[in-house]
């Protein structure tokens, strides 16, 4: 299974501020009753968006200035909560191809990487600065360079990082593990044969 080598992601950005944005916030559980992930995208942040609307304000994801953005910016511990892949799937299907945050919850990070959607870390000051650029010019293109470890927009460069193993997986086109795992099937059977409970 040849996968695309993901070394760079370029697109417009949108900032959804907040720390500890959990998976239930990203996709409320009641929208997860599906037997495929198709159609999940439109419910991304559904409750936050409707609550913002009720307050007479516009949620960044409903703000036409940011329509079509493919890079999401947020705060710390993004994606905490559930291990359900519905959250990264919803974001991916909404159109996001990368996420920038101060930190990520572990399972969310792994699930996103497996989708080929890089999660990169920047400092909170830099995220705010980048959000400022996007706010003043929503058409500004943001480029995440995984190899260089930087994010650029409007002539500004910011340091960005992601763990080596995730970087390696993305840039070498091995972000979905199944190909590697399938290659090891003989070893799997051999290992299983050493464990009595696997025989049952």
In the numeric block, the tokens 């995984």 are attached to: 146
What is the bridge-based pairing of β-strands 150-153 and 156-159?
antiparallel
Specify the 3-state DSSP secondary structure of 12. strand
In the complex, minimum distance from the CB of residue 157 to another protein, in angstroms, rounded to a whole number: 26
Identity of the residue, 66 or 175, whose beta carbon is nearer to another protein in the bound complex: 175
Q: Which of 115, 174, 118, 114 is nearest to 146 (CA)?
A: 118
Cα gap 79→137, rounded to integer Å: 27
Identity of the residue, 155 or 187, whose beta carbon is nearer to another protein in the bound complex: 187
Cα gap 182→108, rounded to integer Å: 23
Where do contacts with another protein occur on this chain (CB under 8 A)? 18-20, 22, 24-25, 28-30, 32-37, 47, 50-51, 76-77, 80-86, 88-89, 103, 105-107, 110-111, 114-115, 165, 168-169, 172, 174, 176-178, 180-182, 184-185, 187-188, 191-192, 194-198, 200
In the complex, minimum distance from the CB of residue 27 to another protein, in angstroms, rounded to a whole number: 10
Check: CB of residue 143 under 8 Å from CB of residue 8.
yes
In the complex, minimum distance from the CB of residue 20 to another protein, in angstroms, rounded to a whole number: 5
Identity of the residue, 70 or 111, whose beta carbon is nearer to another protein in the bound complex: 111
Identity of the residue, 12 or 23, whose beta carbon is nearer to another protein in the bound complex: 23
In the complex, minimum distance from the CB of residue 149 to another protein, in angstroms, rounded to a whole number: 18
Identity of the residue, 2 or 35, whose beta carbon is nearer to another protein in the bound complex: 35
Cα gap 8→1, rounded to integer Å: 21
Cα gap 39→16, rounded to integer Å: 22
């Amino acid at each position: 299974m040849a996968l695309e080598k993901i070394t760079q992601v370029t697109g417009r950005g949108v900032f959804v501020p907040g720390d500890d944005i959990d998976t239930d916030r990203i996709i409320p559980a009641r929208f997860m009753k599906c037997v495929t992930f198709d159609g999940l995208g439109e419910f991304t942040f559904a409750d936050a968006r409707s609550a913002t609307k009720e307050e007479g304000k516009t949620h960044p994801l409903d703000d036409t200035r940011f329509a079509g953005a493919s890079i999401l910016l947020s705060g710390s511990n993004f994606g905490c909560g559930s291990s359900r892949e519905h959250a990264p799937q919803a974001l991916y299907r909404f159109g996001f191809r990368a996420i920038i945050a101060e930190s990520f919850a572990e399972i969310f990070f792994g699930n996103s990487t497996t989708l080929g959607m890089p999660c990169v870390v920047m400092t909170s000051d830099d995220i705010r600065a980048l959000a400022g650029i996007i706010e003043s010019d929503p058409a500004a293109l943001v480029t995440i360079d995984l190899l260089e470890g930087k994010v650029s927009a409007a002539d500004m460069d910011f340091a960005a990082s992601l763990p080596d193993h995730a970087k390696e997986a993305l840039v070498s086109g091995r972000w979905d593990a199944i190909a590697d795992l399938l290659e090891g099937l003989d070893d799997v059977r051999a290992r299983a044969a050493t464990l009595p409970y696997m025989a049952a």
